Copies of this chain bind each other. A is one copy, B any other.
Amino acid sequence: MNARAGLDRKKIVQAAAALADEDGLNTLSMAALASRLGVRAPTLYHYFDGLNGLKSALSIAALEDLSARLGRAVMGKAGDEAVLSLAHSLRSFAHEHPGLYDAVQRAPDDADPAWQAAGQETVEIMVRALSAYELTQDDALHAVRMLRSIVHGFVSLELHGGFGLPLDVDETFRRLLAALLAYLHGTDR
């Protein structure tokens, strides 16, 4: 009784993604994943270098997903509209895929080329989205970091219950983005 499960790295990563989104990235285990795939845990070692290797693969896949989504979000948009679209895409990705979102944050131990590439891709998407502001190269990179910081900080606090008070969170997000856009317009510098 050994009918093959027909696994491959992609199917395993997909199942891991589902588990991470459902139960959290931290509780993702080889045991739980194998069980979901109808297979014994050691089987997974045939495809990945342990739990760490699996999580690295998940991080890369998640980052690629996110990158593709961000790319679609800014197609045909420029300036404020593009920045807002990026921000809302990031936030909705985090809401829809909390496990994958956490995985994106977690850099693989050994800086994997695929990870580097996906990360660079997202930065480039963001830089292109900012092109309408006609920033210098460095200013654009700072602006990308600012956007990422703002959205990540907000989303992270939001998802982990950091905002206790009964005050509209969407409004806070709007204001954060308004502050960023104002800065990009140079109202202040």
Assess whether A148 is interfacial by the CB under 8 Å rule.
yes
Assess whether A106 is interfacial by the CB under 8 Å rule.
yes
Assess whether A145 is interfacial by the CB under 8 Å rule.
yes
Chain A contacts with B in 85-144, Cβ cutoff 8 A? 105-107, 116, 119, 123, 138, 141-142
A107-B162, A187-B182 known; A175+B146 contact, CB < 8 A: yes
Q: Which partner residue on chain B sits nearest A116 by CB separation?
A: B164
- Copies of this chain present in the complex amount to 2
Q: Report B-chain residues with C-beta under 8 Å of the C-beta of A172.
A: 142, 145-146, 149
Q: How far is the CA of A107 from the CA of B157 in the complex (A)?
A: 10
Task: Tell me if B153 and A151 are in contact (CB < 8 A).
Answer: yes
Q: Which partner residue on chain B sits nearest A163 by CB separation?
A: B145
> Which has the most chain B C-beta neighbours within 10 Å: A146, A161, A182?
A146
Question: Which secondary structure dominates where chain A touches chain B?
Answer: helix
Assess whether A160 is interfacial by the CB under 8 Å rule.
yes
Nearest Cβ on chain B to A184's Cβ, whole angstroms? 9
Assess whether A1 is interfacial by the CB under 8 Å rule.
no
Q: Which partner residue on chain B sits nearest A143 by CB separation?
A: B175
A106-B160, A142-B172, A175-B183 known; A149+B150 contact, CB < 8 A: yes
* 22 residue pairs bridging A and B, Cβ less than 8 Å apart: A26-B26, A105-B157, A105-B162, A107-B160, A123-B165, A138-B167, A145-B163, A145-B169, A146-B172, A146-B175, A149-B150, A149-B157, A149-B176, A152-B157, A152-B162, A153-B153, A153-B154, A175-B183, A178-B188, A179-B179, A187-B187, A187-B188
